[in-house]
A and B are shown apart, each in its own frame.
Chain A
Amino acid sequence: MEARIGSDAKGDCTAIATSESGPKLSVTTKAAELLETGLRTIAERTLADLDVADASIELADAGALDYVVAARIETAVRAVHGDAAKPIVPTVERTVFDADRPRRSRLYAPGNNPRLLAGIDIHGADCVLLDLEDSVPIGEKAAARILVKHVLAAVPFPEEVWVRINALDAGGAEDLREILLGRPHGICLPKSESAGDIERLGSLLDAVETEYGLPKGATKIMAIVETAKGVLNAAQIAAADARLVMIAFGAEDYTRDVGARRSDRSLLFARSQIVAACAAARIQASDTIYADVSDDEGLAEEANLARELGFDGKGAINPRQIPAIHQAFSPSAEEIERAQAIVEAAREAETKGLGAVSLDGRMIDKPVLERAERLMKYAETLAKGGGGRA
């Protein structure tokens, strides 16, 4: 039996495990004098961690980083040796989850593409989404989830890091068990259609967190709402679980589901519904990705529209989209000035013992004041570098 994992694409490697009795390790690489020893070291360490002393491995390197080599070998070995191989539990340092952090941008990265994953942390996004679902072909799901696990451990993410798993009945549960060893901040559930979907994920997370000795509730949930049902159930979804911190809208699938032609108009209901649901549940809302990477103007327009509707951020499929998205979702100088004026007026009113707050002859009521305070806090967080710097 043989398992061949990975590819000869730049930044990847190919690991072939066979059931032939070992131990055997052959390594091919360019610049062998420079690289072979290091590759052997990483391969041997990985095999030791997997606890398979007699494995037979052929490794062909194309400039893969250590964690890619480890992931490809682990995947190949587990495919051949099954339960005899121990899944690797990496050491992970993860920044503490901050519910209030800016989530202006949500940068997707395909979970089985080492070249695009390398350096996914450097683009200054607020959130990074490592994807196991639509960007990973069926035959590569196992390789992807193990690679993502290693990425989670090895890459020094300053961003909040999420993993979009497959639907729970399409491999999502296996995804979960693997990638939770990498302790992402949260899990994105595609095609979230009901509170039940979220509750189901929540229970699974409870069980796995307990099994892995992780703090209960540590792993958050982002619901991706991309169907008619999901949009209609947005309010229940938003309130379904304490772990849920954000709903992201997926326009492509939604448009297809309702049979509409994609436009600002045809998406207005879905967008507004989601924004309202998130506001009622006091969680964040993120708008859909903009597919045309070369259309800077179109992106900026759509991002501004999303901001106008009340979204907190937007998805991105290419790092070059991040600056425009951050610009749309960061408070403008005028907004900050106005918010500052309101907050100061409120402070003044309090010191003077006045019952009502007024500014420029207008009454400032409580919700307006609260929003101004939130905006000031948000602006402060951004100024201190609390979000990504693209």
Chain B
Amino acid sequence: MRPFEGAFATSAQGGKAARPQKTAPHNESKILPSIAAAIDACELKDGATISFHHSFRDGDRVINQVLAACAKRGLRDLRLFPTAVFPAHAEIIDHIQSGVISRIEGSMNGPVGAFVSQGGRLAEPAVLRSHGGRWRAIEAGDVHIDVAFIAAPQADPYGNATGSRGKTPCGPISFSTVDAQYADKTVVITNDLAPYPVYPMEIQQGWVDFVVEVDEIGDPESIASGTLQLTKSPTRLRIARLTAEAVIASDRFVDGFSFQGGAGGISLAVTKYLGDAMAEAGIVGSFGMGGGTKLLVDLLHRGLIRSILDGQAFDLDAVESIRQDPAHVMIDPGLYANYDSRGCATYKLDAAFLGATEVDLDFNVNVNTHSDGQLLHGIGGHQDVASGAAITLITVPTLRGRIPVIVDRVTTVTTPGEVIDVIVTERGIAVNPRRDDLAARFSDAGLPVRPLAEIKAEAERLVQPIGRPVFGDEVIAAIEWRDGTVIDVVHKVEGWE
């Protein structure tokens, strides 16, 4: 594993990996009666790598079903390669304990991350990648997938599949297009087997080996997991207002402006404020970037942005909009974020506002661990978006309860300070010393620009210092940068000081 050298330090080498060619007999049926049958047909063996997408987020039912079937078959030492894992997948803990799973490559949100943080659970350190990083790793052959399992809200018997139609649409399932094309075997699992042909063909028949119909693949109500409400907290609204005003004061807030927010409460509020400001200024944005939400869809309908580029729906309004509006463009994570490509969409962003668990005085950002050293969150698109956006703003409160968010050194470096321009807190705006140009514009606009160290000190005066984890030598996870280098590792917590 190569160490991180810089956000844009390395270049792609060689060509892409290739899956085995296959010549299918004329019009042979791909339908199998059950997941168990698919596992057999794929000749899944001990130690294999199996992959999944997370388009149903905390409402997903496929990962658990497939793992249960693998366990029943007596399979062991599998390498789990999901795009992300949620609290709904807590059963993974049982499978790790029983030996069905011994390695995980992918983000772990919640209980699985907490479990892995205990150390000694997996045969190798978990590997976390961003959306773009995972795509790159598959194309480069860094991770070889034996079987890709693709949950599809609608599929035809020949394997064409989509996420935007069917009984339980979840929005784009384009996270899996790379899995489908590079895995040795690709299995589509659907709860709505429809007559041929199903479209749009997010997953294409030519990539698919088998199709299985099941009763349940996921709960679309749960795709909005966690964070889809506009915040009401006065502190967080203040952060959102300052963020919007900072963006407006920058030199990027002109016709053709593009932006991305996450789906957190602060981001949604920023999106709303920006939308209103664009309406007032008569600015039409070139695009808003997903995850798609009702808020973004509203901006599109109001004519304030010309398009939405979207790889993941965070609510049902977004699902519906993707289905019927050509200006709501479905993009896969490769187009969105792949470092080893001829140019990804995040590079066209003017502004992005993202969250963090911690930030440090060098503007490094942590989104993976908390100050207690627990690995609880995935990277998502954080690294990709922060690298690409002309102005990257991190929106954080100075304190969460008694825990300071601004620290001397982040517990884990997810995204390096060199691509972070601004940190917006309720107590003021800190600008990376690399961006004096922005600092000047913000000051001229009357925004409260302050040194980050000063904001940190002000917050620290309100709480006693917190205890610090003492880390041992055991590495429980590696954090990859977009280019496959390792930017940081997470060690096991051995004690406290």
Q: Which residues of A contact B (CB under 8 A)?
A: 10-11, 31, 33-39, 41-42, 61-67, 116, 118-119, 122-123, 154-156, 318-320, 389
Interface residue from A31, A33, A41, A318 paired with B464 (Cβ < 8 Å): A41
Task: Provide the bound-state CA to CA distance between A34 and B466, in Å.
Answer: 5
Interface 9-residue window, one of B147-155, B231-239, B249-257: B231-239
- By the criterion CB–CB under 8 Å, are A119 and B402 in contact? no
CB distance from B459 to the nearest CB of A (A): 10
Q: Which of B425-464 contact A (CB under 8 A)?
A: 426-427, 446, 448, 458, 461-464
B206 shortest CB reach to chain A, Å: 51
Q: Please give the distance in Å from B322's CB to the nearest CB on chain A.
A: 31
**Which residue on A lies nearest to B495, using beta carbons?**
A33
Between-chain CB contacts (< 8 Å), 23 pairs: A10-B401, A34-B372, A35-B402, A35-B466, A37-B464, A38-B465, A38-B467, A39-B402, A41-B464, A42-B464, A64-B401, A116-B234, A119-B234, A119-B238, A122-B235, A122-B238, A122-B427, A155-B462, A156-B458, A156-B461, A319-B238, A320-B234, A320-B237
Closest 6 CB pairs of A and B: A63-B401, A38-B464, A119-B235, A34-B466, A33-B496, A65-B462
Cβ of B181 within 8 Å of any chain A Cβ, yes or no, is no
Q: Which residues in A have their C-beta under 8 angstroms from that of B466?
A: 34-35, 38
Q: Does B237 lie within 8 Å of A319, measured CB to CB? A: yes
Contacts of A320 in B (CB 8 A): 234, 237
Kindly identify, within residues 206 to 238 of chain B, every residue whose CB is under 8 Å from any CB belonging to chain A.
234-235, 237-238
User: How far in angstroms is the closest Cβ of chain A from B61?
Assistant: 31
Residue of A nearest to B459 (CB): A65
Query: A119, B426: Cβ atoms under 8 Å?
Result: yes
What's the least CB distance linking A20 to chain B, in Å? 26
- With CB as the reference atom, state the residue of chain A lying closest to B234: A319
Once bound together, how far apart are the Cα atoms of A61 and B466, in whole Å?
14
Q: What is the bound-complex CA distance between A32 and B348, given in angstroms? A: 44
Residues of chain B within 8 A (CB-CB) of A156 are 458, 461
Interface membership of B399, Cβ < 8 A: yes
Which B395-446 residues have C-beta < 8 A from chain A?
Answer: 399-403, 426-427, 446
Residue pair A35, B399 in contact (C-beta under 8 Å): no
Cβ of B371 under 8 Å from chain A = yes
Question: Chain A's nearest CB lies how many Å from the CB of B453?
Answer: 15
A residues in contact with B166, CB < 8 Å: none
Q: How far is it, in angstroms, between the C-alpha of A63 and the C-alpha of B402 when the chains are bound? A: 5
Q: B496, A61: Cβ atoms under 8 Å?
A: no
The answer to whether A64 touches B462 (Cβ under 8 A) is: no
B310-347 contacts to A, CB under 8 A, are none
- Report the bound CA distance from A337 to B401 in whole Å: 47
Choose among B372, B401, B427, B446 the residue with the greatest number of A CB atoms under 10 Å from its CB: B401
A154 touches B234 (CB 8 A): no
Among residues of A, the one whose C-beta sits closest to the C-beta of B468 is: A34
Cβ contact within 8 Å between B238 and A65: no
Name the residue among A39, A42, A118 with the largest chain B CB count within 10 angstroms: A118
State how many angstroms separate the Cβ of A384 from the closest Cβ of chain B: 11
Within the complex, the shortest CB–CB distance from B174 to chain A, in Å, comes to 38
**Within the complex, what minimum Cβ distance (angstroms) separates B236 from chain A?**
10
A65 to B464, CA, bound (A): 9
Q: Which of A34, A67, A155, A319 contacts B467 (CB 8 A)?
A: A34
User: Complex formed: what's the CA distance from A318 to B461 in Å?
Assistant: 26
Residues of A within 8 A of B458 (CB): 156
Task: Give Cα distance in the complex from A41 to B406, angstroms.
Answer: 22
Closest Cβ of chain A to B107, distance in Å, is 22
- Residue B47 at the A interface, CB < 8 A? no
For residue B469, CB closer than 8 A to chain A, the reply is yes
Given the interface pairs A38-B402, A61-B402, A64-B402, the reply to whether A123 lies near B234 with Cβ below 8 Å is: yes
